Structures are given as C-alpha cells and as structure tokens.
Amino acid sequence: MRTGYAVCTYVSARRETVRKLPCRYRHVGSGEMEGAIQADAKVCSEAGSSSPRGPGCSLRHFACEQNLLSRPDGSASFLQGDTSVLAGVYGPAEVKVSKEIFNKATLEVILRPKIGLPGVAEKSRERLIRNTCEAVVLGALHPRTSITVVLQVVSDAGSLLACCLNAACMALVDAGVPMRALFCGVTCALDSDGILVLDPTAKQEKEARAVLTFALDSVERKLLMSTTKGLYSDTELQQCLAAAQAASQHVFRFYRESLQRRYSKS
C-alpha cells in the first residue's frame, strides 16, 4: 500500500517566518540584470558542463559562471539543462535593529519569478532555501549582520528548486561566506509505473506521480532538507534518497571542476 502526503516538507534547520527584505536588496539595476541574462545565455559555450544524460548518470547538462554582477558581494549563474537561475549574495552587511540577532547573522532569501510578482510558491521555496542555507552557513562568525541571497529565475524547464539551491551555493562561495560544507539540490520524479527519473524536466514533473527534492551536504551526504509532492511508498522514498545521494557526487564534482577552472586562470 502506498503512503505519503500531497505535500510534505522536512527541514533540519529551525523554522522561521518569512521576513521582508531591506529596500536596497529588492531591485538590481535593469541594465545590469539584462547584461547578466545575456551573458547567462552564453554560459553553456564558455563554461564547462557535465556529461549528458545516460544510464550511468541521468542528470542534465550543468553550467555555471560566477562573479557576473558587480553590485553583489558574490554572484553566480547556474544552468541545469534549460533551467537557469541567477543568484546574488549581499553581506555580511549591516542589519536593521528589528532584524538583528545578537549571536549570529540574519540570513534572508528573495526568489523572484521570471514574470510577475512572487506568489505562494516562491515564498515556500524561499523558506526552504533559507533553512538549507542556515544549516550550513557559519552565521555565528558574523553576529548582528545580514546575509541576503537574491535569486532570479531566468528560465524554468523543470527541477527549479534544485537549480535554485545550486545557484545559491555557488553564489555564497563566490561571496566568501563561511560555510561548514557545500550543499546541492537534487530532484527525483516517480512516474505511474514507479520508474525513478533524476533531474526531471517540466513535462516529466507534470506527468509524474510524485516529485521529491532533496538538499544534501558535501561532507557526509547528509540530508539537509526535503520537500515532496504526490503519493509514494516508504520504499520509494528511500530509493529516491539513495539515488539523490549518488547523484550529488556528480554535482559536487562539477562544483570542484568549475572552481578549479575559475581560479586556475592566469
């Protein structure tokens, strides 16, 4: 008998309410954003990408480019297949007194959709991304400060939350924010026959019986966050988690290769 929930979410970090961000983080200059999006389209040809989908690793192509924006302290563009997200990190910086935490940094996340204003889905993803980041960022090293992650969806072709997590991680690295480990997101889909698909496209997600997204750290492949939608059994949940942990090795390998290419340039 299959068990599960229509929507189920697990996070290892403490839950907090979504807070409004300072005005200076709400907007990026239109010229700068347009230039970054144009450069984002060229990342596939300029940056290295992972191996194509195949029986050994059914992940789509990856591509990443860091330090695209001049105003944020760190930025990154991350592509998974045709899904693309642009991330910027501000901080550690001054924080408003009302949001100040005396023993650690205040971490906030903004997720901006490709078109229109953020809705309930974006706010939910913001909370999941923020809790994942809080689980790895060493905020105690910067008490009474603010770290803000701004994510702009450039294109959504499936596995959007996983791509947002990967973009946020690479932007935090580019900003030099101290972390106890890197993290990545992996999405799994189960079709009506119970066949598992890693890194599904938007069409595969729509046709799937269940979609599960996991956030994992780079040290012990521990689960930092999971969110699921649909019906699945306990066995299928464990199978998806094991597949995500195996796939995370390819993502972290791509992180290393991408950083090596960047910092080895003369």
Amino acid at 42: K
What is the distance of C-alpha 127 from the center of its chain?
12
**Could you tell me the pLDDT band of residue 184, with boundaries at 50, 70 and 90?**
very high
In contact, 151 and 76? CB cutoff 8 Å: no
In contact, 85 and 68? CB cutoff 8 Å: no
In contact, 107 and 139? CB cutoff 8 Å: yes
Instruction: Determine the pLDDT at residue 180.
Output: 92
pTM above 0.85, yes or no: no
Q: How far apart are the first and last CA of the chain?
A: 59
Mean pLDDT across 70-97: 89
The whole-angstrom separation of Cα 35 and Cα 53 is: 30
| Greater pLDDT, 264 or 153 | 153
| Greater pLDDT, 49 or 64 | 64
**Alpha-helical segments (H) within 21-159:** 30-40, 43-46, 120-136
The whole-angstrom separation of Cα 148 and Cα 96 is: 13
pLDDT at 50 over 80: no
Q: How wide is the angle at C-alpha 63 spanned by C-alphas 58 and 65, nearest 5°?
A: 160
Quick one: DSSP state of residue 264?
T
The whole-angstrom separation of Cα 266 and Cα 262 is: 9
Mean pLDDT across 190-208: 90
Distances (CA, A) of 260 to 9, 163, 235, 266: 35, 21, 38, 12
The whole-angstrom separation of Cα 178 and Cα 138 is: 6
Instruction: Determine the pLDDT at residue 4.
Output: 44
For a pLDDT cut of 90, what percent of the chain falls above it?
40
With 0-12 / 13-18 / 19 or more C-beta atoms within 10 angstroms meaning exposed / middle / buried, residue 204 is middle
Mean pLDDT across 148-166: 92
**Could you tell me the pLDDT band of residue 265, with boundaries at 50, 70 and 90?**
low
Instruction: Determine the pLDDT at residue 245.
Output: 92
Least confident of 37-51, 53-67, 186-200, 245-259: 37-51
Q: CB under 8 Å to 223, separation ≥6 — which residues?
A: 10, 12, 214, 215, 216, 241
Instruction: Determine the pLDDT at residue 128.
Output: 93
Least confident of 49-53, 89-93, 237-241: 49-53
